Amino acid sequence: MGAQWGDEGKGKVVDYLAARVDVVVRYQGGANAGHTVVVGEREYRLHLIPSGILRGKEAVIGNGVVVDPAALLREMEELAEAGCDLSRLHVSDAAHVIFPYHLLLDEVEENWRGDRRLGTTRRGIGPAYQDKFSRTGIRMGDLLHPEYLRERLFARVSHVNAVLRGVYGGQEFDPEEMFRLYCEYGKRLQPYLTDTAAYLTGALREGRKVLFEGAQGSLLDIDHGTYPFVTSSSPTAGGACIGTGVAPTLIDRIYGVVKAYATRVGDGPFPTEERGGRGNLLREKGREYGTTTGRPRRCGWLDLVAVRYSCQVNAFDGIMLTKLDTLTGFPRLPVAVAYRWKGELFREFPRSLKVLAECEPVYRELPGWEEDVSRARSWEELPREARDYVQLIEEETGVPVCLISVGPEREQTILLREV
Ligand code: IMP
């Protein structure tokens, strides 16, 4: 799972780990996520389907995910064209469905917020989870029962239309047309819909290995993140159980993916943000543009106060460090090890967003390196400065770094400890 604000490079790490497991499962979020995986000449951008499918593994979309059927079918077509075996895809019949009104509400609600906007990906994520929790949502399995679907959809659309009319004065929806379209989606997706909680628990009981692939990051968690500048799901460790129906006792290892520097998309406080030239340089060198929205990501230095907090919430067994190669060429590398607030120094991540917004990072400055680390394949091949950088992360978090990624290719990976 992501230990920062998303975009840590989970796609690459999951792809690497997927070689060692039988099943890969997504447990939260939706098409707001974007995982980039490079295999040979080809680059895959996956939003919903776990990237393990590229390794020929069983791929599961768990009940905690919100599924836009149109986006899912598009992704399936692309993967089929690339020769992927889609018979290995399993979608939870209890996952909630994203409808066109969720996309529109995401848009108009963001516009309504004006200066207080959250900077969402506008993929309908927040409104779909709102419906889930207010018990007006529709689940994937419901698409297979036209009468039930019709009743729920018509009730929901009439309410949505009243809100659109009364509050936003804009577009309204024709429930009949939407009903027909979603019945069609249901027919096309029927072969993939199943009770994935039973499937996963069965697989674990049989001794098969299951990898839970987080989307977004711990600091975007609805409960434990920088609320309200968060997503509407639980990317933290506990979310893996809720979002799949697999009990906590069946999960035996938790790994956090940490990017060697920090980025954030969307609004919200970001203490180590670097607005000047060095931030732009990080963005260009790290190709920090959203996989889903193409938005330029805000860039800054590694924030170990935030990462330490993620380690607390998730109890990571190990850290997978990504994009170390992007830091090559910076003469000095600031790393935040504490915050200063109103003259006081502290090492804990603040609970209050207001305090966080006023915090100044306290940096340890490490010397950088010039050597091209993207060719390194072992610890010994890394320059001393890069090794010191990694060791500082271990010291400050108390969590061992198990894997270092030094480029987008599968081979550009250094395994330090068996995982
Ligand atoms: P939402 O998930 O579209 O509602 O967006 C809420 C916040 O989460 C915004 O700040 C988004 O930029 C951020 N967010 C959502 N998905 C991702 C992701 O995959 N990577 C990074 N940030 C994300």
CATH code of the domain covering residue 205: 3.90.170.10
Per-residue pLDDT at 44 = 82
Is any atom of ligand 1 closer than 6 Å to the C-beta of 59?
no
Element holding 72 (H helix, E strand) = helix 69-81
Atom of ligand 1 nearest to the CA of 265: 12
Whether the predicted pLDDT of 46 surpasses 90: no
Predicted confidence (pLDDT) per residue in 366-416, tens digit: 999 999 999 999 999 999 999 999 999 999 999 999 999 999 988 999 999
Atom of ligand 1 nearest to the CA of 215: 19
Residues 257 and 402 in one domain: yes
Whether the predicted pLDDT of 285 surpasses 80: yes
What is the amino acid identity at position 184? Answer: E
Using the CB atoms, write b or e for 50-59: b if 16+ within 10 Å: bbbbbbebbb
Whether the predicted pLDDT of 183 surpasses 80: yes
| Whole-angstrom distance, CA of residue 98 vs CA of residue 24 | 22
In a domain, 2, yes or no: no
Is the dihedral angle over the CA atoms 240, 246, 247, 249 positive or is it negative? negative
Per-residue pLDDT at 47 = 92
Per-residue pLDDT at 76 = 95
Residues 209 and 179 in one domain: no
Distance 6 CA to ligand 1 centre (A): 8
Q: Which residue has the higher pLDDT, 44 or 251?
A: 251
Is any atom of ligand 1 closer than 6 Å to the C-beta of 26?
no
At residue 41 the predicted structure's pLDDT band, cuts being 50, 70 and 90, is: confident
Last residue of a domain, one of 191, 220, 249: 191
In a domain, 4, yes or no: no
Q: Judge if pTM exceeds 0.85.
A: yes
CA 208 to chain centre: 24
Residues 223 and 289 in one domain: yes
Residues 179 and 201 in one domain: no
At 297, give phi and psi (nearest 5°): -85, 145
Residues 50 and 134 in one domain: no
Residues 269 and 338 in one domain: yes
Residues 43 and 132 in one domain: no
Domain of residue 133, residue span: 96-191
Distance 217 CA to ligand 1 centre (A): 9
Looking at 3-7, 11-15, 200-204, which range is the least confident one? Answer: 11-15
At residue 83 the predicted structure's pLDDT band, cuts being 50, 70 and 90, is: confident
The pair of three-digit structure tokens given for residue 243, joined into one six-digit string: 């979002």
Strands (E), 197-261: 210-213, 255-259
Residues 71 and 208 in one domain: yes
At residue 45 the predicted structure's pLDDT band, cuts being 50, 70 and 90, is: confident
Look at the block and give the residue holding tokens 């609320």: 227
Whether the predicted pLDDT of 40 surpasses 80: no
Pick the residue whose CA is nearest to atom 10 on ligand 1. 266
- Work out the burial of residue 190: count CB atoms within 10 Å of its CB; fewer than 13 is exposed, 13-18 middle, 19 or more buried: middle
If DSSP codes are grouped into helix, strand and coil, which group holds residue 192?
helix
In a domain, 243, yes or no: yes
Predicted confidence (pLDDT) per residue in 163-178, tens digit: 999 999 878 999 999 9
Residues 326 and 352 in one domain: yes
Looking at 36-50, 119-133, 213-227, which range is the least confident one? Answer: 36-50
Q: Which residue numbers are catalytic?
A: 7, 35
Per the prediction, the chain carries an average pLDDT of 95
Last residue of a domain, one of 163, 191, 219: 191
Is any atom of ligand 1 closer than 6 Å to the C-beta of 220?
yes
| DSSP β-ladder status, 35-39 and 42-46 | antiparallel
Is any atom of ligand 1 closer than 6 Å to the C-beta of 296?
no
CA 196 to chain centre: 20
**In the chain, % of residues over pLDDT 70:** 100
Residues 321 and 225 in one domain: yes
Predicted confidence (pLDDT) per residue in 302-323, tens digit: 999 999 999 999 999 999 999 9
Is any atom of ligand 1 closer than 6 Å to the C-beta of 7?
yes
Is any atom of ligand 1 closer than 6 Å to the C-beta of 262?
no
The total number of structural domains that make up the chain: 2
CATH code of the domain covering residue 117: 1.10.300.10
Whether the predicted pLDDT of 210 surpasses 90: yes
Residues 226 and 333 in one domain: yes
Nearest to 319 by CA among 410, 212, 391, 373: 391
Last residue of a domain, one of 174, 191, 208: 191
Pocket test for ligand 1, best of 129, 220, 221 (most atoms within 8 A of CB): 220
